[in-house]
Structure 1
Amino acid sequence: MSSEAPSAEPFIAELKRWRDVRGVSQSALARSVGYTPSYVSKVEGGQQRPSREFAEQADRVLSAGGALRRTFTELETGGRPGITLPHQHTAEPQTLESQPASLIVVHDDAELRYDGATYRATQRRRIHNASPDPITQYLIRISVDRYPGNPEHSNRHYRDNPLTWDEIALTARIGNEPIGWRVQHDRDAFKELWLLFENDDGRYPLYPGETAWIEYSYTVSDDKWGTWFQRAVRLPTERLSVRLDFPADLDPVVWGTETTMTAAAFPFRTAIHQSSYGDRRLFSWTTDDPPLHARYRLEWKFRARPDHEETAPAMPASASEKMRSIGVVQAGDPLLTQRARPFDLPAEAEDARRVVAELNSAAERAAGIHTFSKGMGCAAPQIGIDRAAAIVRTPNGETLTLLNPRVIEESAETDEQYEGCWSFFDVRGMVPRPLSITVEHQDTDGQRRITIFDQGVARLVAHEIDHLEGVLYTTRMRPGVEPIPVSQYRGTGRIWSYEGKAS
């Protein structure tokens, strides 16, 4: 019997992947879990055996749905590697260090075709070797997430229905030559592998100064592929293009958001082009010189989908269950009743930007399942992040970002209006609020600002600041007044009214 300890590689891969999914640096993770950056670096480099406390804290901070805890337990017991759940569909190099530093992507072109039952993704990249050495392999990742925002559900789903090599039916080539690959990681929800620039007939290295097209395709059934496709810029890229090819009879609608290291998620700067051919509908989008580490996310829904509805898992029945399904923390979680940790700005500016990006992504998901005529807001604790950040989207489309906000003054005049909360969305409550509030908040550069908000926007902002203070709107309601079921609420689709003025 061997006494050799099980390899920590599955846990390391899981940790790196969740950091990548959540956009959290090693130093930011170290601060959040109470360890040194050196400790995290050594764990990921294989020089330090992780502790159970570290695994549990990292799982909580990264909202990994128990995946890191399970993988650590399997590491301790020598059991089967745990489930990995990246929150994107992609076939990108995992880290910049995985590829030669001077490898340049001249054109990154992706196409996703859906036939009503399966998705076929084709990735084509024109790569240029600006290094002094030949390149003989290229790292790619194939990952899926059927239930984005609900990692525990997805983990269970892929544990029972793992992604297999047979169904993927991967093909790859460089130029006109088919090539093989070597598996790096084989997990239930993703496959990571090296494309090898060789086959039985010869080797095809990319020499210094040369440029070549690499292409690979794979298939995933729609019960394992969610309705979104994310592209991440991992290497210097000159041009990025994406096409979605759907059956026209499903009446598809597509939208996209961009997230960068310096900006929160916002709509594509240019429109997605739509065209039709035969019984298909094509959505295409292109951008030049995308910034390094930018992420481009396309989402869609099929407005007429009788065949798809029979094969896809049933949508949650209640409004609260729908919110839970997109990753919103629900009432009863201690995170909603404790004060959120403030940011140390500008030192934690990068962390703040990443949290705001997560908030905007959550808002996009929420907008896909509910119409918010009065505007909407989301606070970081509602998506499992214990930091003092919130966003508000006003009825006229403006997005307000609030970092370390606090109310420093309230008007004497108040009114009562019904409010809803994503964390218990099955009810609405009549809440008294001041008609005007003055809020002190910060920019990522640490500069303090004071802003006055009025009427409906003041209500939205006050609601989100309450979340950061660990206060739910039910504690603001008058004694004896109880929330009403959303089925009895008659204000859906209407904006708040203020003495004849809408807000």
Structure 2
Amino acid sequence: MTTEAEDAFRAELKRWRDVRGRSQSALAREVGYGPSYVSKVEGGTQRPSEAFALAADRVLQAGGSIAHAHRELSAGRGAVPRQQASEPGAPHESSLIVRHEDTRLHFDGAVYRATQRRELYNDSPDPITRYLIRISVDRYPGDPERSNEHYRANPLTWEEIDLTATVDGEPIGWKIQHDRDAFKELWLLFENAHGRYPLYPGESVWLEYSYTVGADKWGTWFQRAVRLPTERLSVQLDFPSALAPKVWGTETTMTAAALPFRTAITRTEGPGRTLFAWSTDDPPLHARYRLEWKFRSSNTEEETTDTMTATASEKMRSVGMVQEGDPILEKPAQRFTLPDEAEDARRVVAELGSAAERAAEVHVFGKGMGVAAPQIGIDRAAAIVRTPEGETLTLLNPRIIEESTETDEQYEGCLSFFDVRGMVPRPMAISVEHQDIDGTVRITMFERGMARLVAHEVDHLHGLLYRARMRPGVQPIPVSQYKGTGSQWQYGGGK
């Protein structure tokens, strides 16, 4: 009789074999074990070794899931029971359930090939005969005007996409829903010229589709939005090692909070290739998971500055920050109508989180940091603030409704003119009215450093830069003269 932990390990191993399309014998060869070893492990007659678990996790690019299941097995613990979305009669927001969604993105230095596999389960009383997919690209994240202009001149075409799709290995066709310059939406039809392949109630099927986009149209990011009940989500990025890739991830939840991934992205080096793998269980509906990367040895035509000699403002411009002089920084941002525009708000917050990650790659923010939507070219009333400790605050439709009479004056920097620092007086405490994603109005009080960070971003959403807050006759100083980079603001009383 097997334990729950043993059952959980075997299920995890088999799940990843299915996702990667490996037979038992093929996996055994790749991990260096005998042909019968995997069969015995999955059959419950062979206890897996730690070396086998680690090797299987690496070969199957499981993002640490198989290794974690083995640690639980070794510790004598079982997996925490979770409600199975596939149980007949269990309530769901959708009749279609994604048991596992796995994406592999391969880049050869010029072209990206995305392959997405989904194990779908029909939890409805009716057969399902089609599935909606979207292909969306953005070459210049954080610079929508530049991206729109680029795609107007160079639209994404069906010929270059070279789409293929199958259901359980059987080729299927599709019907176009929307065809735009940088966005394609289509129904994959569970049929072809030889027959129809409906997904009947209580059945599951592997749906796979693959498409190609050149680096001139892709952009260094990949995002998944959870639109259906999903039990497992995994992503694998496969890059040339010569490009010295670096990858990070941002999660935007249903509440619109932007956070780093809760689980680590694993990195594996192979012959000439670097693989990154990440996975998560039971992602909440409407959550967005965004991976971004940069190639540290890449010399693309878009790189206009040498990172060793670029000014601070040039570095911020290179990561998508709109610079002073752009009209979008001089007008009040458009407010969200919540909860009607909840999806738009989540999308904007995801972009802000990604922009903050890019900025953190080129500068150390010892005092914390903030990014407002106009600073990445988006005319909406949203901003995020990150504390020095790494916590993230999301602000939707914020406005300051009360300020303390006590003020102080300290240097601030702005990502939209980062070559200087300005001495700015601010209230020591502020009360801010803002909204949750569901439209709930809240009032939050901030003090000292957080009050300064929040007030700076709220100003951005009202078309003000900190220059307008400086005392008459006081001018910003060059960043070369500023001595506070990397340190926190100083206040009396030990705070």
Q: For the structure 1 residues 301 and 459, does the alpha-carbon distance in structure 2 shift closer, same or farther, using more than 3 Å as the test? A: same
Partner of 2:425: 433
Q: How does 1:323-472 map to 2 (within 5 A)?
A: 323=316, 328-332=321-325, 336-337=329-330, 359-383=352-376, 390-401=383-394, 403-411=398-406, 414-417=408-411, 419-425=412-418, 427-433=419-425, 437-442=428-433, 444=436, 445-453=440-448, 456-468=449-461, 470-472=463-465
Equivalent AA in structure 1 for residue 303 of structure 2: A
Q: For the structure 1 residues 280 and 492, does the alpha-carbon distance in structure 2 shift closer, same or farther, using more than 3 Å as the test? A: farther
Q: For the structure 1 residues 319 and 157, does the alpha-carbon distance in structure 2 shift closer, same or farther, using more than 3 Å as the test? A: farther
Deviates more, 1:403-412 or 1:188-197: 403-412
* Separation in 1, partners of 2:339, 2:126: 40
Task: Assess if the C-alpha contact under 8 Å between 2:257 and 2:393 holds in 1.
Answer: no
Q: C-alpha deviations, 1:412-435, integer Å up to 9, x for none?
A: 6x4443x2212333x31431435x
Instruction: Using structure 2 for the length normalisation, give the TM-score.
Output: 0.69
Deviates more, 1:353-362 or 1:394-403: 353-362
* Separation in 1, partners of 2:329, 2:399: 16
Q: For the structure 1 residues 194 and 362, does the alpha-carbon distance in structure 2 shift closer, same or farther, using more than 3 Å as the test? A: same
Confirm or deny that 1:300 pairs with 2:293: yes
Confirm or deny that 1:273 pairs with 2:266: yes
Instruction: Using structure 1 for the length normalisation, give the TM-score.
Output: 0.68
* Separation in 2, partners of 1:408, 1:463: 14
Shift of 1:327: 5.5
Shift of 1:243: 0.7
Equivalent AA in structure 2 for residue 411 of structure 1: E
Shift of 1:271: 1.0
Shift of 1:328: 4.4
Deviates more, 1:243-252 or 1:323-332: 323-332
1:218 to 199, 211, 221: 211
Shift of 1:382: 3.8
Confirm or deny that 1:154 pairs with 2:137: no
Q: C-alpha deviations, 1:74-130, integer Å up to 9, x for none?
A: xxxxxxxxxxxxxxxxxxxxxxxxxx9412111111110111121111000111122
Q: C-alpha deviations, 1:265-311, integer Å up to 9, x for none?
A: 11111111222222222111111111111111011111222xxx24x
User: Which consecutive unaligned segments of at least 5 residues does structure 2 have?
Assistant: 1-92
Confirm or deny that 1:494 pairs with 2:490: no
Deviates more, 1:191-200 or 1:444-453: 444-453
Deviates more, 1:184-193 or 1:253-262: 184-193
* Separation in 2, partners of 1:377, 1:179: 47
Equivalent AA in structure 2 for residue 230 of structure 1: Q
Q: For the structure 1 residues 377 and 180, does the alpha-carbon distance in structure 2 shift closer, same or farther, using more than 3 Å as the test? A: same
User: Which consecutive unaligned segments of at least 5 residues does structure 1 have?
Assistant: 1-99
Q: For the structure 1 residues 234 and 279, does the alpha-carbon distance in structure 2 shift closer, same or farther, using more than 3 Å as the test? A: same
2:303 to 308, 314, 331: 314
Shift of 1:163: 2.0
Confirm or deny that 1:170 pairs with 2:163: yes
* Separation in 2, partners of 1:157, 1:236: 35
Task: Assess if the C-alpha contact under 8 Å between 2:250 and 2:291 holds in 1.
Answer: yes
* Separation in 1, partners of 2:237, 2:191: 30
* Separation in 2, partners of 1:338, 1:160: 29
Q: C-alpha deviations, 1:189-211, integer Å up to 9, x for none?
A: 23322222223332222222221
Q: Secondary structure at the match of 2:297?
A: coil
Q: How does 1:5-404 map to 2 (within 5 A)?
A: 101-305=94-298, 309-310=299-300, 312-315=301-304, 320=313, 323=316, 328-332=321-325, 336-337=329-330, 359-383=352-376, 390-401=383-394, 403-404=398-399
Q: Secondary structure at the match of 1:181?
A: strand
- Matched length: 393
Equivalent AA in structure 2 for residue 313 of structure 1: E
Task: Assess if the C-alpha contact under 8 Å between 2:256 and 2:345 holds in 1.
Answer: no
Q: Secondary structure at the match of 2:428?
A: strand
